[in-house]
Structure 1
Amino acid sequence: MAELRVTYDKTANAAYVHLTDPQVRTRSSRMYPCDPVQVGGMINLDFDRKGRLIGIEVLAANSKLPEYLLESSERLDDDGV
C-alpha cells in the first residue's frame, strides 16, 4: 500500500494531501476551488499539466479531516517542531 503524505499548518489551520510520488517534484498548473458554502470550508483541488489530480488543500482542516490524520501529518508550523 502506498503511503499518503499529509502536511498541516496548525496556525493557518490548513492541510495538504499530496497525491504524487514524494520523490518527484510536481507543480500545480490548475486549481479548482470547491464551493465553500456547500462544504462549510474551502477545499481546493490541484491538477498538473496533464489534468491529473496531484493534491488536495483543505482549509479549516481541523473541522474537515479526522484528528488522527492531522496528528500524524508533517507539521509546517512552529508548534510541530
Structure 2
Amino acid sequence: MRTTFDAEVDAAYISLAPETAPGRSVLNVEVESTGGSVVLDFDSEGVLLGVEVLGATKTLDREFLDAAERIDE
C-alpha cells in the first residue's frame, strides 16, 4: 500500500494495488463528505484499486497525512 499527499491541491491517494497501469481504473464511485469527497477506483473485475481523498486535511487524520509520501515538494 502506498499513500501520497499533495498539499497544493489538498488531495491524498491511497493505492491498494501494487501497480496500477494507466486505464486500469474503469469505475469511479464518488462519496461526498462534510470536508470534501472520496473517490473509489475499481477495475473491470470490481477490484478496488485505490482511494482518492479530496479535502484530505479535513477528512483524514493528521498523523496519517504526515506519514504519506509528499508529491508536491
TM-score range, shorter chain: 0.7 to 0.9
2:45 maps to 50
Q: Show CA shifts across 1:6-42 (max 9, x none).
A: 1000000000011112xx33421110111x2xx2111
Identity %: 37
Instruction: Structure 2: state its 5+ residue gaps.
Output: none
Equivalent pairs counted in the alignment come to: 70
Structure with greater helix percent:
1
Two-structure CA RMSD over aligned residues (Å): 1.1
Instruction: Structure 1: state its 5+ residue gaps.
Output: none
Large movers: runs of 4+ above 4 Å = none
C-alpha distance in structure 1 between counterparts of 2:52 and 2:20, whole Å: 17
Out of 2, 5, 10, the residue aligned to residue 8 of structure 1 is 5
Out of 33, 44, 63, the residue aligned to residue 68 of structure 1 is 63
Larger Rg: 1
1:75 offset after TM fit, Å?
0.8
